[in-house]
Amino acid sequence: MMLKKHNLLIFLVILLMVQLLMVSGAFAASSEADDKLKEEHHERSSACFACHTETDSFAFKTIMKEKCVVCHKTGWVTGKLEALAKEPTGAENPSEHNPSKKADGQGPGMSIPMYYPGSKIGSAPNEMILIPAGEFIRGTDGRLPDEGPEHKMHTDAFYIDKYEVTNFQYQESLNVTKRQPPEHFVSGKYPHNKADHPVVYVSWYDAKAYCESVGKRLPTDIEWEKAARGTDGRTYPWGDEFDIRYVNSPVRWVELNLIGDTTPVGAFEKGKSVYGLYDTSGNVWEWTSVRYEAYPGNKRMSENYSGNYRTLKGGSWWDCSFYQCGISAPVFNRSFFHPKTKNDSFGFRCAKDAK
């Protein structure tokens, strides 16, 4: 028994010495450990921030207030994180975040109503805008790891659709493409009063087939961002300050306390890009032609850079989860999904080479 107690005492002393050595080593390598800890933290949290970017969710805002702003004093974009954390959470009145009324009529900033009979645009392929050759600022250093580093890219001149492809336009293509109608179509026909809403429930393959059927192609993500952003590195198509009157985004519907939906393409006149494109912020995410890959100079490894996903740009109208988090739609924003994915917030527009 005494021998066992003696052995236990030796073990405890050795364990204490090992712990002391570990502590002293941790002090000696504190900077390296801190860097590693931060890297692991941001790697884990990036999955949350893929949706929770700018948000009115009282639950997520509470986390920001208690945790994130301890380190992130200045936020991602002009102090947005800190400002949101300082606002009242709304936990005292959760019903404000659970609207029961559907959006309708002509809301703030809209030049046309949400729903109307017939089409103001028609079924012909979209008008296109010429984007001149030259450099622009791509990406950002101020937000998510996959959105940077900020860098300059050059494009040749190209054309891109002024609007997202609509339900009516897509319906007219089905006889040519032989694709299955989107699941929100009834008997092969677009939903009532939504002829000019962007088509949704289309996969990357569906979008590619449509563009090719009208003599166009999907844009690259580089082309898309230049057409949406211009050359001055702005955050949104219209500038650097968010405004619900310019965009169909989840934040808009939260502030209006309404259940959101897609809006007719071109409904937000003040939301145009410098080149004149509509809805490059919000309404629907837009498929691009390219695979989801790391930007030049990005050293952060990700299993998602596997070649299995396609890149989408622009954000959408839809709350990303039951938290009603509200995806923001800065033009450097991007998402990635398997090309077979279809849902009610994915659409597209087409491009083609300038000759």
Q: d(Cα 196, Cα 184) in Å, to the nearest integer? A: 14
Would you say 341 and 251 are in contact if contact means Cβ atoms under 8 Å apart?
Answer: no
3-state helix, strand, coil in the chain (%, to 5): 35, 15, 50
On whether residue 133 sits in a domain, the answer given is yes
pTM: 0.75
On whether residue 159 sits in a domain, the answer given is yes
Answer yes or no: is pLDDT of 55 > 60.
no
Query: In this structure, what DSSP letter does residue 173 have?
Result: H
Answer yes or no: is pLDDT of 173 > 70.
yes
Domain that holds residue 187: 99-355
The confidence score (pLDDT) of residue 272 equals: 98
Confidence of residue 85 (pLDDT cuts 50, 70, 90): low
Average pLDDT over residues 332-352: 95
Answer yes or no: is pLDDT of 253 > 60.
yes
Where residue 180 sits, what CATH number does that domain have? 3.90.1580.10
Structurally, how many domains does the chain consist of?
1
Dihedral angle over CA of 202, 205, 211, 214, nearest 10: -100
Q: Per the structure block, which two tokens stand in for 166?
A: 């609509």
Answer yes or no: is pLDDT of 153 > 50.
yes
Average pLDDT over residues 67-92: 50
On whether residue 73 sits in a domain, the answer given is no
On whether residue 60 sits in a domain, the answer given is no
Would you say 311 and 301 are in contact if contact means Cβ atoms under 8 Å apart?
Answer: no
On whether residue 250 sits in a domain, the answer given is yes
Q: d(Cα 355, Cα 353) in Å, to the nearest integer? A: 6
Helix, strand or coil, per DSSP, at residue 29: coil
Confidence of residue 175 (pLDDT cuts 50, 70, 90): very high
The confidence score (pLDDT) of residue 60 equals: 53
Answer yes or no: is pLDDT of 345 > 50.
yes
On whether residue 49 sits in a domain, the answer given is no
On whether residue 169 sits in a domain, the answer given is yes
Average pLDDT over residues 314-333: 70
On whether residue 92 sits in a domain, the answer given is no
Would you say 237 and 160 are in contact if contact means Cβ atoms under 8 Å apart?
Answer: no
Average pLDDT over residues 119-135: 98
Nearest to 48 by CA among 144, 147, 150: 144
Q: d(Cα 310, Cα 342) in Å, to the nearest integer? A: 13
The DSSP bridge partners found for residue 161 are 128
Q: Comparing 72 with 161, which gets the higher pLDDT? A: 161
The confidence score (pLDDT) of residue 203 equals: 98
The confidence score (pLDDT) of residue 322 equals: 40
Range in 5-14, 102-111, 279-288 with the lowest mean pLDDT: 5-14
Q: d(Cα 106, Cα 301) in Å, to the nearest integer? A: 45
Would you say 285 and 349 are in contact if contact means Cβ atoms under 8 Å apart?
Answer: no
Confidence of residue 125 (pLDDT cuts 50, 70, 90): very high
Average pLDDT over residues 33-46: 49
The confidence score (pLDDT) of residue 320 equals: 61
The confidence score (pLDDT) of residue 331 equals: 94
Distances (CA, A) of 214 to 121, 142, 176, 209, 211: 16, 38, 10, 9, 5
Q: d(Cα 131, Cα 300) in Å, to the nearest integer? A: 32
Residue given tokens 């179509």 in the structure block: 185
Q: Per the structure block, which two tokens stand in for 114?
A: 């949400």
